[in-house]
Structure 1
Amino acid sequence: MEVVGTSRQGTSSGNGDALIDIEGLVNSIKEKLDKLSCPSTKCCIYKVPIKLKKINEEAYTPLRVSIGPLHHGKEGLEDMEDHKLRYFNDFMQRSGKSLEELVKIMEEMEKEIRDCYAETINFESDKFLEIILVDAAFIVEFLLRYRFPWLKTPNDRIFGKPSMINDVRYDLLLLENQLPLFVLLDLVERTNIDLGFNWNETISYSFIILEEKSPSDSQVSVPEEKSPSDSQVLVPEEKNASDSQASVPKEKSPSNSQASVPEEKSPSDSRVSIPEEKSPSKVKQIIDCLISHLIPRQSLQQTERKFGIPSATELHEAGVKFKVSSSKNLFDIKFSGNILEIPHTQIVDPTECLLRNIIAYEQCHCDVKFFGDYTMIMDYLINTSKDVELLVQAKIIENWLSDNNDVSNLFNGLGKEVNINSEAYYFTELHKELNDYCEIPSHKWKATLRQDYCSTPWRVLSIIVAAILLGLTFIQSLCSLVSCNKR
């Protein structure tokens, strides 16, 4: 059927009852293509993939406070909005800037901020800039009060309740609850905050930065291929974890996200320290002084196993001895002779939450996945509570959970729906060394002899006595035989 007297061309639909407006359809698609924006190369803040979130949604969801646009307005987080405004008001007074000046600072960065989010942010400019400004000021003010107790106010809802401090601190670690680091840097740099302390004083503070081409680890130091970019997210870290500082393996060039948050104890080990500047800027000095505590850190794994190693129990039965490494690098696991050295790590309650968010970031952003590789090898070593017990006895794992089964379940569950690149796997050589060792039969029977018969001095003594008695019995039998032959 043809439509006469119009420039519009059409063709019948499959059922023959209607016409398709070809020209209208073409124009509609063209309009959508014209509005299509090109993804930014600065993208560094992601939504957690659904396949990971469905395993444990709570690990990725803020409990108390939303930061940035992704969780803004979510049910259960509204109560903190007024308190964030109180923090913002205090920050504004402390900064020496007017509200108009602060808004203009944010306005200059709007496009760059939007480019950092993988998801399209649907808020209009006014609302978007309000969210970023208030949340950025909240983070800076939170860090100031965390670092300098005299800045806390009597009616502070957060610092007046210890449980709130913990919840807020860990909310700031979540992958979806982030702001680009340059927002905080610019906000601090362009304000007049002066707390009257010596900026040149040596202060050993560190913070986690998960950033493109720079992995994070147990107080790990960033690989030197690339200095941290501005598209990172800041989160304070814990200070007394100097025992658990580590540096990321320099042989590989990982990639990471950003973020750091304060913490009470020195948990397992996984932090990143920023390379020192020769002439520290005001921003660097302020950031160093703000971050007085580090966050808990630990590891990750995967379920698809193309290759593996024996568990800790099986290695022990083959004669492998476990020893806590003196290295502060979480990934510095070495096998020499029959000794497997593994750096010390603490397993605490927030470990799973932190690791899941680091894992999610690696899955979204990184080509090389250091935490993925680390937790994969820990998953191979740990299958049961008995494996955990061996590592606890060797002081490799410090278990702050209720029992060893919890640690086993932690490592066995972290790798679901996680993809690990076996071709870039960091511990490939270690796998080979351990498997080669266990394939030698003599290692197992020697180990069995040592573990079953020579484990204590009394067992050794009993074996010696038994051998002597056996020898005497043999001699006596031999003498009897000789005497019989003489007859």
Structure 2
Amino acid sequence: MVAVFNKDLLSWYLITLKLRETVDQNLPKSGPSSPSHTIPAPLSQNATHPALTNGESHDNPNPDSNSNQDAKQTLVEIEPVTSIIHGPISQTTSTEPHDSWTTSIQHRLHEARETETKNPWAKLSIYRIPETLREGDEKSFVPQMVSIGPFHHGKEKLREMEQHKWRAMQRMLHRTGHEIDRYITAIRPLEERVRSCYEGHIPMQSHELILCLVLDGTFALELFRGATSRNGFTELGYSCHDPVFATRCAMHSIQRDMIMLENQIPLFILDRLFAIQLDQKEHAGRVARLAICFFDPLMPTDEPLKRRDRARMESSIHKSINAMFDPLSEAGSHCLDVFRRSLLRNGPKPVPPRVWLRRWSRNRPVADKRRQQFIHCVSELQDAGITCRRKITDKFWDISFESRGVLRIPRILIHDGTKSLFLNMIAFEQCHPDMANNMITSYVIFMDNLINTEEDVRYLHDQEIIEHWLGDDSEVAELFSRLCQEVVFDFNDSYLSHLSDHVNRYYSSRWNAWKASLIKNYFNNPWAFISFIAGVILLLLTFGQTFYTVLPYYVPPKN
């Protein structure tokens, strides 16, 4: 027995079955009757019959027991039909057992507890660029010529360089007389440590990842050694017509790709491979010195590396392994980290903000663009009597301010690789929680505040502060504006916050603004200065003439 919820359908079948029963009684029996579930011919919905409609009879308000029995029989007979129309009807709905659901929740909580216990984020150093930073500028973060590491391994457009990686591997093995199994065996125990350095899951099998590290690491070391060798890549056995190792255009593109955050391998892998090549004991810092010399052309200054610093590094590479270089006082994570340290060598320690400033800063959203405007643009500073002058140093971040209203800014060189370089260093500072300071981000936002229009760029170019190889000055202004988009930053934590306070106090002085207006309007060229002096002299002569004219009236001469 099943329940039927469509009352109209029930009434229709009761009527048709009752009519069929009446017809069968008037006809002679000529054979076996039809099955009880045979569907009768459809009748008009307007036909009337003393049958059950909506659970009761309209013609007979007191139905007898026969009618009730017919109704019960009809409910049984209608079950096959309703099963065909609406599918099998069940009295209970099957659901997932409660115990299975609870077990699934407990399993997920157990996985989360294990992940928290292992703390896989403690060793992270190679990150995927957040979508907020890479949106609309994919080429600045994604390699276009060569892949280093697992993030971009196997991409179609980068496969052409794979044959050159194998050429570098063959050349290194021929030069050292080693077998490739020696390097694979040395890297295999470091697999778990390597995986913990990368953000997210690496969808590569164990042997694939190890071969990728050995192949890419060997290729990088060949580039580093060739760039620092006295005779170049020919000293390593490469032809002077080599399409990769002897082509300047290809080398520039490779350098730009290998400095990207997503295109890195851990530095300890390079140290291990380099030690095996030289048949020496592994020493941290040797590959870092090679990397600094290799990436030297990307330095954002036309005074890249002082000769004494380069000489110290080369001597430490070729003679002594105990010589120390300031950027390597602490172990770097990868090549981008080492390059950033070399840019910030001997950098100042950020001055901690006052307690009330720190407390107020924590209550404000650090991503607020209004909090990034901590200094006025060049045009507004000029109106307040502040001038910008070039500072002679190779440390592009070393900005200072003099009490007489002079802002000293080192020279910076902007080329086609500067944008990608700064964006990846900013992304590294944004992603890495153990970053000691955010000097690159602070510098870029400071320069973005100084530059609003191409007139500001033109002024800094005239002062020999900005030198660029781009199309025009407006592209430089757009470059710095793009670098600061979606950057999380609080200027109270900047190494330039103390300097910006001095600049803003000087800017807010009315006397400085009046003095600057006087100089701008009357002393901006020699003729204006001469006119001003002539006007002052004429004013003094007129005053003297008036004085001596009026004086006899009040003091008559004595006879």
Residue in structure 2 matched with residue 176 of structure 1 by the alignment: 262
Distance 1:120 1:132, change over 3 A: same
Question: Is 1:328 matched up with 2:394?
Answer: yes
Q: CA deviation at 1:23?
A: 3.3
1:208–1:237 contact (8 Å) kept in structure 2:
no
Question: Is 1:351 matched up with 2:418?
Answer: yes
Q: CA deviation at 1:352?
A: 0.5
Quick one: which of 96, 120, 138 aligns to 1:20?
96
Question: Is 1:63 matched up with 2:139?
Answer: no
Which amino acid in structure 2 is aligned with residue 69 of structure 1?
A: P
Question: In structure 2, what is the Cα distance between the partners aligned to 1:481 and 1:227?
Answer: 81
2:224–2:291 contact (8 Å) kept in structure 1:
no
Question: In structure 1, what is the Cα distance between the partners aligned to 2:195 and 2:290?
Answer: 33
Question: Is 1:186 matched up with 2:262?
Answer: no
Q: What secondary structure does 1:342 align onto? A: strand
Distance 1:192 1:467, change over 3 A: closer
TM-score by length of 1: 0.74
Distance 1:111 1:315, change over 3 A: same
Q: CA deviation at 1:253?
A: 10
2:145–2:158 contact (8 Å) kept in structure 1:
yes
2:260–2:336 contact (8 Å) kept in structure 1:
no
Farther-moved stretch of structure 1 (398-407 vs 430-439)? 398-407
Deviations 1:365-403 (A, max 9, x none): 036311111111111111111112222222222222222
Question: In structure 2, what is the Cα distance between the partners aligned to 1:163 and 1:443?
Answer: 50
**Which protein has the bigger helix share?**
2
Quick one: which of 529, 532, 537 aligns to 1:468?
537
Q: What secondary structure does 2:207 align onto? A: helix
2:223–2:294 contact (8 Å) kept in structure 1:
no
2:169–2:218 contact (8 Å) kept in structure 1:
yes
Which amino acid in structure 2 is aligned with residue 41 of structure 1?
A: A
2:399–2:410 contact (8 Å) kept in structure 1:
yes
Quick one: which of 218, 229, 233 aligns to 1:149?
233
Q: CA deviation at 1:308?
A: 2.1
Distance 1:83 1:327, change over 3 A: closer
Question: In structure 1, what is the Cα distance between the partners aligned to 2:190 and 2:513?
Answer: 64
Quick one: which of 189, 212, 216 aligns to 1:131?
212
Question: Is 1:457 matched up with 2:526?
Answer: yes
Q: What secondary structure does 1:76 align onto? A: helix
Question: In structure 2, what is the Cα distance between the partners aligned to 1:187 and 1:375?
Answer: 36
1:225–1:253 contact (8 Å) kept in structure 2:
no
Question: Is 1:115 matched up with 2:184?
Answer: no
Residue in structure 2 matched with residue 232 of structure 1 by the alignment: 334
Q: CA deviation at 1:245?
A: 6.7
Farther-moved stretch of structure 1 (328-337 vs 409-418)? 328-337
TM-score by length of 2: 0.65
Residue in structure 2 matched with residue 319 of structure 1 by the alignment: 385
Distance 1:157 1:31, change over 3 A: farther
Question: In structure 2, what is the Cα distance between the partners aligned to 1:25 and 1:458?
Answer: 90
Residue in structure 2 matched with residue 292 of structure 1 by the alignment: none
Q: What secondary structure does 1:316 align onto? A: helix
2:266–2:333 contact (8 Å) kept in structure 1:
yes
Question: In structure 1, what is the Cα distance between the partners aligned to 2:175 and 2:213?
Answer: 18
Q: What secondary structure does 1:191 align onto? A: helix
Question: Is 1:92 matched up with 2:173?
Answer: yes
Structure-to-structure mapping, 1:204-243, within 5 angstroms: 206=292, 227-229=329-331, 231-233=333-335
Distance 1:250 1:436, change over 3 A: closer
Structure-to-structure mapping, 1:29-428, within 5 angstroms: 29=105, 33-34=110-111, 36=115, 38-147=119-228, 148-150=232-234, 151=236, 152-153=238-239, 156-192=242-278, 206=292, 227-229=329-331, 231-233=333-335, 247-252=345-350, 304-306=369-371, 307-337=373-403, 338-365=405-432, 366=435, 368-428=437-497
Q: CA deviation at 1:134?
A: 0.5
Q: CA deviation at 1:101?
A: 0.9
Which amino acid in structure 2 is aligned with residue 322 of structure 1?
A: C
Distance 1:351 1:253, change over 3 A: farther
Distance 1:170 1:88, change over 3 A: same
Deviations 1:266-306 (A, max 9, x none): xxxxxxxxxxxxxxxxxxxxxxxxxxxxxxxxxxx987122
Residue in structure 1 matched with residue 37 of structure 2 by the alignment: none
Q: CA deviation at 1:172?
A: 0.3
The CA RMSD over aligned residues, in Å, is 3.6
Q: What secondary structure does 1:346 align onto? A: strand
Residue in structure 2 matched with residue 437 of structure 1 by the alignment: 506
* Identity percentage of aligned residues: 29
Which amino acid in structure 2 is aligned with residue 82 of structure 1?
A: Q
2:328–2:338 contact (8 Å) kept in structure 1:
no
Residue in structure 2 matched with residue 8 of structure 1 by the alignment: none
Farther-moved stretch of structure 1 (476-485 vs 312-321)? 476-485
Question: In structure 1, what is the Cα distance between the partners aligned to 2:124 and 2:344?
Answer: 27
Distance 1:26 1:132, change over 3 A: farther
Structure 1 unaligned regions, length at least 5: 1-15, 195-199, 210-215, 239-243, 255-300
Question: In structure 2, what is the Cα distance between the partners aligned to 1:20 and 1:435?
Answer: 67
Question: In structure 1, what is the Cα distance between the partners aligned to 2:192 and 2:332?
Answer: 14
Question: In structure 2, what is the Cα distance between the partners aligned to 1:95 and 1:30?
Answer: 55
1:223–1:249 contact (8 Å) kept in structure 2:
no
Question: In structure 1, what is the Cα distance between the partners aligned to 2:464 and 2:503?
Answer: 20
1:245–1:328 contact (8 Å) kept in structure 2:
no
Could you say which structure has the larger radius of gyration?
A: 2
Which amino acid in structure 2 is aligned with residue 316 of structure 1?
A: Q
Q: What secondary structure does 2:158 align onto? A: coil
Q: What secondary structure does 1:305 align onto? A: helix
Distance 1:428 1:192, change over 3 A: closer
Deviations 1:162-185 (A, max 9, x none): 322111111101100000011111
Q: CA deviation at 1:41?
A: 1.6
Which amino acid in structure 2 is aligned with residue 176 of structure 1?
A: E
2:377–2:450 contact (8 Å) kept in structure 1:
yes
Residue in structure 1 matched with residue 43 of structure 2 by the alignment: none
Q: CA deviation at 1:411?
A: 1.2
